[in-house]
């Protein structure tokens, strides 16, 4: 009878130890999952920052090309921007919040510019050209603001 009771007590002890180890493993796994999610979020924010840095560079090049009246090269930059803005807007939508609407507005400005650049005499029509330049400057300023907000959010997350 004592052997049987000792056996039951030892099984209960082993079971309790197993339960404690399981709870500890679950607790550690939860911490590891949280750390992995935070790391993934940081990578996404860094990717968003890098993508918008590239967009800002393309928009800056476009402004310079328009200022030097290099229509063909400007048309290529506009197409690059029109390909990248929707992709990045969709990819990083959760980081952009209200800035996604600004990106749609920028896309509209660049689409209009692409149409204008396809006209051979666009650069000679000074009023239309200057209005387009103003819109491009405004879109470039908005793009820089979006990029700045992404960098600011990234800096706050790293601290």
Give the Cα separation of 81 and 69 in Å (integer).
18
User: Within a domain: residue 123?
Assistant: yes
| pTM of structure | 0.74
Mean pLDDT of 41-54: 86
What is the extent of the structural domain holding 54? 38-158
DSSP letter (8 states) at residue 119? S
Number of separate domains in the chain: 1
Give residues with Cβ within 8 angstroms of 136, minimum separation 6.
59, 62, 63, 66, 109, 110, 113
Residue 128: CATH number of its domain: 1.20.120
Token pair of 56 as six digits: 């800002």
Please indicate, yes or no, if residue 5 is contained in any of the structural domains: no
Residue 97 resides in a domain: yes
Q: Which of 48, 57, 21 is nearest to 152 (CA)?
A: 48
- Is residue 6 domain-resident? no
Whether residue 10 lies inside any domain: the answer is no
- pLDDT tens digits for 89-109? 988 887 787 888 888 888 999
User: Tell me: the pLDDT tens digits for 54-79?
Assistant: 999 999 999 999 999 899 999 999 99
* Structural domain contains residue 90: yes
Query: Nearest CA to 144 among 47, 45, 48, 53?
Result: 53
DSSP three-state, residue 14: helix
Q: 131 lies in a domain?
A: yes
Please check whether residue 28 lies inside any domain of the structure.
Answer: no
């Amino acid at each position: 009878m004592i052997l049987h009771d000792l056996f039951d007590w030892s099984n209960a002890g082993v079971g309790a130890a197993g339960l404690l180890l399981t709870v500890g493993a679950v607790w550690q796994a939860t911490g590891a999952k949280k750390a992995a999610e935070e790391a993934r979020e940081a990578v996404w924010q860094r990717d968003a920052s890098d993508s918008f840095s590239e967009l800002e560079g393309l928009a800056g090049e476009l402004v310079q090309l328009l200022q030097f009246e290099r229509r063909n090269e400007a048309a290529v930059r506009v197409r690059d921007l029109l390909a990248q803005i929707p992709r990045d807007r969709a990819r990083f939508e959760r980081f952009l919040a209200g800035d996604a609407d600004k990106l749609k507005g920028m896309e509209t400005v660049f689409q209009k510019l692409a149409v204008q650049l396809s006209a051979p005499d666009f650069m000679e029509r000074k009023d239309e050209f200057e209005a387009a330049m103003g819109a491009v400057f405004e879109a470039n300023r908005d793009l820089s603001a979006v990029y700045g907000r992404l960098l600011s959010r990234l800096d706050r997350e790293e601290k």
